Amino acid sequence: MPCLIAAPCSGSGKTLLSLCLAALARERGLRLQPFKVGPDYLDPQLLSRVSGLSCRNLDPLLCGEGWVQACFHWHGSRADLALVEGVMGLFDGRGPGTDGSSAAVAHLLDLPVVLVVEASRQAGSLAALVRGFRDHGPPRVRLAGVVLNRVGSERHRALLAEALASLAVPLLGVLPSDPSLELPSRHLGLLPPGELPDLPERQRVWASLARRHLDLERLWPLLAPPLRGSVGEDPVRGLLRRQATPPAATLAPAATERLPVVAVARDAAFHFRYPEADEFLRGCGLEPHAWSPLADEDLPAGCRAVLLPGGYPELHAAQLASSRRSLGALGRAAAAGIPIAAECGGLLLLGRTLVDPQDRPHGMAGLLPFSARRGPLSLGYREATACGDGLLVRRGERFVGHEFHRWQLDGVADPGGLWQVEGWGSLCRSEGWSTPTLHASWLHLHWAGCPAIPSRMAAAAARSGPLSPSGGSSTPTKRAGVRPSSAGA
Contact call for residues 281 and 457 (beta carbons, < 8 A): yes
- Distance CA(339)–CA(360), nearest Å, equals 31
Q: Is 243 helix (H, G, I), strand (E, B) or coil?
A: coil
Beta-carbon contacts of residue 276 (< 8 Å; ≥ 6 apart): 56, 236, 446, 447, 448
The rounded Cα 366 to chain-centroid distance in angstroms is: 27
Cα end-to-end span (Å), the chain: 43
- Distance CA(86)–CA(91), nearest Å, equals 10
Contact call for residues 23 and 102 (beta carbons, < 8 A): no
Distances (CA, A) of 64 to 69, 100, 404, 412, 445: 9, 10, 20, 34, 12
Q: CB count, 10 Å around CB of 38?
A: 24
**Ramachandran region of residue 358, left (φ > 0), alpha (ψ -120 to 50) or beta?**
alpha
- Distance CA(85)–CA(99), nearest Å, equals 17
Do you find a cis peptide bond into 469, omega within 30 degrees of 0?
no
Residues with a catalytic annotation lie at 344
